[in-house]
Chains A and B, each alone.
Chain A
Amino acid sequence: MARTLPEDDQDWSDVHRREEPPERVTLPAWGWLGLAFVLAFYLRGPLARLVDGPALGTWTTIFVSISVQALPFLVLGVVLSGAITALVPPGWLARTLPKRPLVAVPAAGLAGVALPGCECGAVPIAGRLTARGAAPAAAFAFMLAAPAINPVVLVSTAVAFPGRPEMVAARFLASLATAVAVGLLWTRLGREDWIDRTRHRTAEGGTRWRSFTQTAQHDFLHAGGWLVVGAMTAATLQVVVPRSVLDGVADYPALAVAALAGLAVVLAVCSEADAFVAASLTQFSLTARLVFMVVGPVVDLKLVALQTGVFGRRFALRFAPLTLAVAVFFGCIVGWWLL
């Protein structure tokens, strides 16, 4: 889209511009955007009737609500990632963090307790941590653990399952185990060239304020665009696949676990709310619902899209299946042990 349009670096009144061939499109990209909005505003009547079908209306509602719900958490994430770039000197993390993965990865996972938010914020932060020299495995453990084991999520889990404190303990253990195991597996299986480092390049140097604003802006545009991709995918699947297909499989333990793992991926619910969704799925066993709460914060459609934006497609295509398998495994093990 932007590629076909001229770079709008010059001033409009630039004399040289008048000498250009007249057929060249001179409206810059942001101008098209404004034009689209003016047109949209005047055409809203006919367009609204065009999309009056209930399926399309439902799709739009779910799409907008996932985007809006995730927005504040994404902004929190990019503000923190801007702060990391502005305040943490390059190389400092690599010197300070423990070198041995067996120490660094669990420590990074536990550090996730300190980030109260949901999964959208953790992805750009992990991207910045690796760009600042943290070992990728440790950054991934932090990224996977933070949205699942922070106090806000644990409290909402306790509220959603009153009288069942073992559910909170099971969620904490299974999520932390998943994060640490994926981190350690990544040190064994992962390859450095799967991560697209070019996406983290922003202007170095300049004042702290400058690197803060540029990083925050850069990360928001990157991750935000992919968040919208994820919200569109999740909305499509929610409209196409009715939730009532779940009801038939609740009585078969293995199918129930698979169905709720799939639901967690498709629903793309924020980790602070997924406990309430899990609590309402009472036709399913507690273990299946635990798997739902362990998978949701680490793999879902909007998260895979965000990871594609921050780490590149080659990474996301390998990381998501690995994480899903490990999360289902630990959900089942801990559920069998504790519930």
Chain B
Amino acid sequence: MSDRRSQAAVLLLVGAMALYLGGSDAALAYVKAGLQPLLVASGAILVGLAAVAVLRHGRDQDGHEPHGPRVAWLLALPPLALVLIAPPALGAFAASRQATKPPPTNQVSPAEAAAASADSGLYPPLLPPSDGAAAPLTLAEYMARDDEAPHTLAGVRIRLVGFVTPQQPGRDGYLLTRFALNCCAADATALKVAIHGDPLPRAPDTWLEVEGRWQQRTGGDPDQPASEAPLLLAESIRVIEQPSPPYESGFPTF
């Protein structure tokens, strides 16, 4: 990268990408919404640096040209990938490469959980918004309740949202999946709930809104191995568009 205009072009490109992602929902496939103000700020700084470099190139022709490293050309790759491919949010392929049941994100010991659920502080009873409607839950909360307070799930009609990941061979149904993001897509953890009772085959990566009832994971058959993922017996299923953001938040407070 030998001349100042090339350096300015790369700075401008990366800055423009940061500004675009800072103001667009497209960014939510890669990072959390909280990063967007920082992206706008850094994009503005980079565009400013590019402007200074261009102005300076016009002003002084004293032969002093700071040589940039050739590796800096690689900075054009992330913007190029965005324009070219617009990589989608992580889907069934990435989900199938993680363990079926990641451990619950809660760090509460079983004794604490029992005490907490006894006074209903941590897992209050589920109240549907109106009579006959289903109570909406995130996959993370469904999994945590299944693990630590299953009685709060029993008998309630529940609504979950996720995309389809194929089950391991030899198991029924499919896995309703959504990634939880802590920081960016590189640290995404796949949350999976096994759906039973869907009469239709579903293509991987189809987004679904599933309403149904919680089921004991072990089931009644002692010969069947216990499901690794929590179970939901589907009663009604609707195909939906990918929600925005496509990920669940990795931690409730963030």
Contact = CB atoms under 8 A, between A and B. Distances in A.
A238 B184 CA distance: 14
B46 interface: yes
Interface in B97-116: 97-99, 102-105, 107-108, 112
Interface of B: 1-3, 5-11, 13-14, 17-18, 21, 27, 29-31, 35, 38-39, 41-42, 45-46, 49, 52-53, 61, 63-66, 68-78, 80-94, 97-99, 102-105, 107-108, 112, 182-187, 189, 250-251, 253-254
Most buried by B among A48, A71, A162: A71
Contacts of A160: 107, 251
B78 A64 contact: yes
A28 B97 contact: no
Interface residues of A, number: 87
Given A37-B83, A280-B102, A65 B184 contact: yes
Given A9-B65, A203-B66, A273 B6 contact: no
A301 to B, nearest CB: 11
Nearest to A240: B97
A225 B71 contact: yes
B85 A218 contact: no
Contacts of B185: 61-62, 65
Interface in A9-58: 9, 28-30, 33-34, 36-37, 40-41, 43-44, 47-48, 51, 54-55, 57-58
Contacts of A54: 91-94
Most buried by B among A28, A47, A67, A282: A67
10 contacts: A2-B6, A7-B65, A40-B83, A54-B93, A57-B87, A61-B87, A64-B81, A71-B39, A224-B14, A276-B183
A199 B67 CA distance: 10
B30 to A, nearest CB: 4
A47 to B, nearest CB: 5
Contacts of A276: 105, 182-183, 187, 250-251
